[in-house]
Amino acid sequence: NFIMLCVMLCWSPGAVGHLSFTEILDTSLKVSWREPQEKNGILTGYRISWEEYNRTNTRVTHYLPNVTLEYRVTGLTALTTYTIEVAAMTSKGQGQLSSSTISSGVPPELPGPPTNLAISNIGPRSVSLQFKPGYDGKTSISRWQVEAQVTVVGENEDWMMVHQLANEPDTRSLEVPALNPYTFYRFRMRQVNIVGTSPPSQPSRKIQTLQAPPDMAPANITLRTASETSLWLRWVPLPEWEYNGNPESVGYRVQCSRPGSQTKVQTHVIPDRMEREFTIEDLEEWTEYEVKVQAINGIGTGPWSLAVRGRTRESVPSCGPTNISAFATTSSSILVRWSEVPEPDRNGLILGYKVVYKEKDSDSPVQFRSVEGNSTHSVQLLALGKYVLYEIQVLAFTRIGDGRPSVPPILERTLDDVPGPPVGILFPEVRTTSVRVIWQSPSQPNGIILAYQITYRLNFTNSNTATVDVLNPSTRQYTATGLKVESVYVFRIMAQTRKGWGDAAEALVVTTEKRARPQPTSRPTVPQESVQARSVLLSWEPGSDGLSPVRYYTVQVRELPSHNWTVHSASVKHEASSYTVDRLKPFTSYQFRVKATNDIGDSDYSKDSEAITTLQDAPEEAPTVLSVTPHTTTSVLIRWQPPAEERINGILLGFRIRYRELLYDRIHTYTPYSMRNLSEPSLSQYELHNLSKHKRYEIRMSVYNAVGEGPTSSPQEVFVGEAVPTAPPQNVAIQSATATQLDVTWDPPPLDTQNGDIQGYKIYFWEFQRKNETEKLRTLFLPEGSVKLKNLTGYTTYVISVAPFNAAGDGPRSPSTRGRTQQAAPSAPRFIHFSELTTTSVNVSWGEPVFPNGIIEGYRLIYEPCTAVDGVSKIVTVDVKGGAPLWLKIKDLADGVTYNFRIRAKTFTYGPEVEANITSGPGEGAPGPPGEPFISRYGSALTIHWTNGDPGRAPITRFVIEARPSDEGLWDILIKDIPKEVTSYTFNMDILKQGVSYDFRVIGVNDYGYGSPSQPSPSISAQKVAPFYEEWWFLVVVALVGLIFILLLVFILIIRGQSKKYTKKSDPASSSNCHALSHGEMVGLDESRFPALELNNRRLSVKNSFCRKNGVYTRSPPRPSPGGLHYSDEDISTKYNDLIPAESSSLTDKPSETSDSQVTLQPCVHTHTHTHTHTHTYRSPSPLYTKTIENTQGGLFRPKGSRTPTPCQQSSNPPSLHGTLYRPPSSLAPGTRAPVLFSNFVACASCMV
């Protein structure tokens, strides 16, 4: 039955779509529908049925062909509710029913939204919704829709459909399944009837589902060989919406085990939810492992990923072969045997063995004997020292290198043999008939020395005549006596072991006492054909032996350009004349020298040989491979460092790269190497192309010179096919979405630089110029091209850089791009601070917001009493502009009342407030009130006097003076810092408003704050008292006095003017006797072009003649006649003779500021006893009262423009003695104006009076 039901469900059609009713009448209606979306076969027709609501016995059913999509139902009862069902049919049967209710004769309407949403039974993946249905639209509700607003970080907050419930019109609650754990939701509902969908309901409260274990495992698990003892595991982390819990508790668990083994399973926990790789350490070499990963959170663990396998890298054997044995076969050979390396310690494919041996307790170098292959387990060591104890070890090697040698070392001695000759024969004492000889044991004893034999005879005699003596093995010297004088003897010494007598050492000696040190040898020479890379053949000619045969030669060598000589050998045989100097460095310059030694001593060193350079040799060191990294999917980048120059042994010509594919599935075979020659010795990196994808490669390097190639480097392994992207994302753009969100978009890197599939992007962002403090990382584990960066700071510039990553790692970052978030409401001001608190005022200051989130346009300060004052609670709001100082003086507080202050900043809108309370008035411990002040006034200065009051709990530190205008009543601090010692203070009234009356009071200040104020002083006006000379009455008096003085002066001038009568007579002869005016005394125009006359004071010469000059009598020029008066000589002589003193006086008025003209008149008269000079000064009050004075022959001035010369022009007086006589206009220089004289001054002045 179950199988049949599954078949029917699988093949029956789905529900018809868009079931609707139209043309609704009392007894009929029209039903329409559409074909089902899931036909699941060929439709054969439709089944339609209707019945009265909840009355199945009234059901009517009709079957319609498959082309019919509408049907008119008739025979209905008016105003009756019917249930109508429609279903599609195939050959498998009837499909899913679609039904609805309708009242005949009543057209349906759009339903209203549900109301009263409530949430209960909140679980990790579901919640229950209770609701009250809305208006049904006069038809049954066919479906309930639940929409949700999912507020996962990084996701949009649009409403989306999360659940639908069909064919349950009477339900009042439903369960919303398939929610995400630990996710914020806000729900709303709609109800659907035959007409359509209702508007949404009001949103529910915001809820968060419970936590749950992760539902999925990390994806894309890859396992790569990292080293001989580690594996590199990588995965794609869970997306944020799959955490199912607190992100801080999300991590990963890695399990590693050997397949088919009962060894302990390794488990590692990675607590970082963003981590996507892990290196598994402490593994066995060359071993296969199985690894799987699961996600964990604070609730539990998720499912395991699929297991992946990987093998650690091949390594060197971790121990040597076992069962080592050694057997000496001859005096110079040893046979060594061994067994295989244990399987767990091989760590790779054994390619062969090496036998390591050296003389025990000797400084001789270690020697090796290699055995290729793993099938041979024995070797014969040849050319060994006789009767020498050797330390022998065996090691195995793989392609990686040599393993550890076997321990402990095996000791084996070669068999004994006849000894070598003794060494170091010397004759320290030589007499004419005796000599004493000394020697040392053989350098190659080849056994235990049992005895020494010494034989000596005359040279050139038969050996049968020799004297033979056998000595015990401890003897090292011998004295021969009875020798012939000055004869040459041959001494032979040999040693004996159990194998017999060895070779003899032979030496000559001359029985004489005339011995000397040898002479130096000749300059050593080195034939070019004997120069090798590491040795040269040195030749020389011996010098005189000084009648004492040379015992040995010493060879010294010096490496150029060094100046230090070193001994290469001090035991060159005495009969040698050449020596092979070895252990030299290839391609190096040397010099040599030789000295000889006999029984007496050393000769001087020979001359230095010519410098020679050894030949090149193959390099003895490989380059150091620094890294081998995938560069593209078919290439790797190799970086290296060449060997040291002295290890190249010549001129470096290039590098060789050997590479081959590693086949881990065929671990017992290797493919041959391929090779690349790099002929540029300056290279330090190279990209190796054309490799196969998804393969492991082994890479080695070597260097070569002209002689050959050096050893190869240790192998480097690399996996080809995965490489990091080599280019950053393109076209990174930033769009400011809100005050806390930036939308970042980009294009992927070019396809040829992606080097595989892009798995995601890393978005680095930080606040501009604050990278170290604010840099954050957002990882996007999807190959998308956009991200929304949320929870940013408002109105802040951010710098953003995007980097791609794939399975191989991270690519390069894109260039930094800047973007700024929009303005937002600022944060609260940082603080509120109160200072200068008195009984009625306080200074309020505040700090700028920590996060302004835009341009601060101002602040709003609101303060109000916490309790009503006199039944009134006044709220005061003050707006402060953004550029104003961040403080405000509040002056209208009530004493002893607690006030609440609230301040908030504004950008385009106001931000949150910061608030604080303060109680006005003195605090506990503050000073008491000083005595009532009184005020004294001195001019514009006020002095306030007071007496000290109670200092409080601490000494008074200063005083403060407050003032208030008498008509306002608001106290404000006038003087802040008054020293504590004074009881009076003087200040200028300029700091007060003029004309305003003020009250003053004094407040003491100590460490507890401002104290109680004193009683107010009497009111005093700030009006200044002006000095008497600024008073109006003083100015009036001065003006009157001046006017009186002017009137008096004018009156005197009038009286005197009327008492003088001048009669002017024409006297042409006298005109020629006038003194000429000097140029500085003539009448001229000033800069303002107003005429000016100057009255000068001159002393006239008193003579008996009438103004005689040069024998010519001149007549005084006529005076200007005020009021048309004429002057005559008679008037002058008769009225002023008795008044004129010998000295003439000058009265000169100070020129006025209005360019008043000055007139200088100096008449020249003749008298019998005195010379009379009378001077009058006339001032013209205005240019309007001017008139030209005419000068004519016979008493009149010559008019302007007259060019008739006068005698005055013939004056010959020096400029310093010129008289003050008037010069007529004709005497002026050409182009100058004739002076204009003021006349009628007295008459005009009289008119003014």
Q: CA-CA distance, 188 to 749, in Å (whole number)?
A: 42
Residue entry with tokens 């001593």: 601
What's the one-letter identity of residue 791? N
- What are the tens digits of pLDDT across the range 724-773? 899 999 999 999 988 889 999 999 999 988 888 898 999 999 999 888 88
**Token representation of residue 407:** 């321990």
E strands in 679-741: 685-688, 695-704, 716-720, 730-736
Stated as kind and residue range, the H or E segment containing 777 is strand 776-780
**pLDDT of 485 over the 80 cut:** yes
Q: Which helix (H) or strand (E) holds 773?
A: helix 771-774
pLDDT, one tens digit per residue, over 290-313 is: 999 999 999 999 999 999 999 898
- 1207-1230 mean pLDDT: 36
Q: What is the pLDDT of residues 545-574, one digit of tens each?
A: 888 899 999 999 999 998 899 999 988 988
What confidence tens digit (pLDDT) does each residue in 496-546 have? 999 999 999 999 999 988 889 999 999 999 999 999 999 999 999 999 988
Residue 666: the pLDDT is: 57
Q: Give the Cα separation of 663 and 696 in Å (integer).
A: 8
103-112, 682-691, 805-814, 1099-1108: least confidently modelled range? 1099-1108
C-alpha of 871 from chain center: 60
- HSE at residue 39, side-chain half, CA atoms within 13 A, is 11
Q: Identify whether the C-beta of residue 97 lies closer than 8 Å to the C-beta of residue 89.
A: no
pLDDT digits (tens, 9 = 90+) for 1084-1103: 333 333 333 333 333 333 33
Amino acid 1026: pLDDT: 63
> What is the spatial distance between Cα 806 and Cα 403, in angstroms, rounded to a whole number?
37
**Tokens coding 886:** 């961040």
| Average pLDDT score over residue span 430-453 | 93
Confidence band for 178, pLDDT divided at 50, 70 and 90: very high
Q: Which amino acid is at 220?
A: N
- Condensed to tens digits (0 to 9), the pLDDT of residues 109-131 reads 899 999 999 999 999 999 999 99
Beta bridge partners of 572: 553
Question: What pLDDT is recorded for position 157?
Answer: 66
Q: Can you tell me the mean pLDDT for 312-330?
A: 93
Helix or strand run (H / E) with residue 3: helix 2-11
Q: How many Cβ atoms sit within 10 Å of the Cβ of residue 769?
A: 9
Render pLDDT for 1141-1160 as a digit per residue (tens, 0 to 9).
Answer: 333 333 333 333 333 333 33
The pair phi, psi for residue 1038, each rounded to 5°, is -60, -40
Helix axes 1241-1248, 1032-1059, angle to 10 degrees: 140
Domains by residue range for the chain, with CATH: 2-103 (2.60.40.10), 115-208 (2.60.40.10), 219-311 (2.60.40.10), 325-413 (2.60.40.10), 423-510 (2.60.40.10), 528-613 (2.60.40.10), 624-720 (2.60.40.10), 730-820 (2.60.40.10), 832-919 (2.60.40.10), 934-1025 (2.60.40.10), 1060-1249 (no CATH)
- 3-state SS assignment for residue 1131: helix
Residue 1202 pLDDT > 60, yes or no? no
What is the predicted pLDDT for the residue at 669? 64
Determine the pLDDT at residue 76.
87
- Residue 1138: band (very low, low, confident or very high) from pLDDT cuts 50, 70, 90: very low
Question: Can you spell out the DSSP letters for 586-608?
Answer: TT-EEEEEEEEE-SS-BPPPPPP
Look at 755 and 1238; give whichever has higher pLDDT.
Answer: 755
Q: Helix-strand-coil percent breakdown of the chain, rounded to 5? A: 10, 40, 55
Alpha carbon distance 677, 930 (integer Å)? 103
Rg (alpha carbons) of the chain, rounded to whole number: 66
Query: Among residues 1145, 1080, 1077, which one has the least CA distance to residue 1117?
Result: 1077
What's the full length of the chain, in residues? 1249
CA 913 centroid distance within chain: 34
Judge whether residue 1196 has pLDDT over 50: no
Do the beta carbons of residue 1134 and residue 1239 sit within 8 Å? no
- What sections of 1022-1158 are H helices per DSSP? 1032-1059, 1068-1071, 1129-1136
Across 688-710, average pLDDT: 93
The pLDDT score that the predictor gives to residue 1115 is: 42
Contact 907, 929 (CB under 8 A): no
Kindly report whether the peptide bond that precedes residue 473 is cis, defined as omega within 30 degrees of 0: no
The full DSSP string for 283-304 is PPTT-EEEEEEEEE-SS-EEEE
Residue burial 929-939, b: 16+ Cβ < 10 Å; e: rest: bbeebebeeee
Q: What is the DSSP letter of 547?
A: T
pLDDT value, residue 1103: 36
User: What's the pLDDT at 1171?
Assistant: 35
- pLDDT recorded at residue 878: 92
pLDDT at 936 over 50: yes
Amino acid letter, residue 177? P
User: In whole angstroms, what is the distance from residue 532 CA to residue 615 CA?
Assistant: 6
CA–CA distances in Å: residue 1161 to residues 174, 523, 898, 1197: 131, 133, 92, 14
Q: What is the pLDDT of residue 228?
A: 87
Distance CA 742, CA 819 (A): 8
Residue 408: asked if its preceding bond is cis (omega within 30°), the reply is yes
Is-contact 317 348, C-beta < 8 A? yes
What is the rounded distance in angstroms from the CA atom of residue 684 to the CA atom of residue 625?
10
Burial string for 780-799 (b: 16+ CB within 10 Å, else e) reads bbeeebebbbeebbbbbebb
**pLDDT score, position 976:** 86
Contact by Cβ (8 Å): 165, 174: yes
Note the maximum CA span of the chain.
189
- What stretches of 193-332 adopt beta strand conformation (E)? 207-208, 219-227, 230-236, 251-257, 266-270, 277-280, 288-296, 301-304, 308-311, 325-330
**What is the pLDDT, as a whole number, of residue 833?**
93
Backbone angles phi, psi at 232, to 5 degrees: -105, 115
Average pLDDT, the chain: 82
Residues forming a β-bridge with 934: 945
Nearest to 1178 by CA among 1200, 1153, 1152: 1152
Name the more confident of 1223 and 120.
Answer: 120
Query: Token digits for 936?
Result: 């004294």
At 1015, list the tokens.
């009683």
CA 651 to chain centre: 46
Q: Report the distance separating Cα 1149 and Cα 1053, nearest Å.
A: 14
Strand 115-120 to 127-132 pairing: antiparallel
List residues bridging with 809 in a β-sheet: 806
Q: Which pLDDT score is estimated for 1235? A: 38
> With 90 as the cut, is the pLDDT of residue 1215 above it?
no
Quick: pLDDT tens for 590-601: 999 999 999 889
Q: How does strand 451-458 pair with strand 98-103?
A: unpaired
Is the pLDDT score of 1206 beyond 80? no
Give me the residue label for tokens 């109301």.
Answer: 115
Alpha carbon distances (Å) from 1081 to 303, 980, 1149, 1180 = 127, 74, 16, 18
Q: For residue 1166, which phi and psi values (nearest 5 degrees)?
A: -115, 135
Arithmetic mean of pLDDT, 368-383:
93
Please check the confidence at residue 837 and state whether its pLDDT lies above 50: yes
DSSP character string of 42-79: ---EEEEEEEETT-GGG-EEEEEETT--EEEE-SPPTT
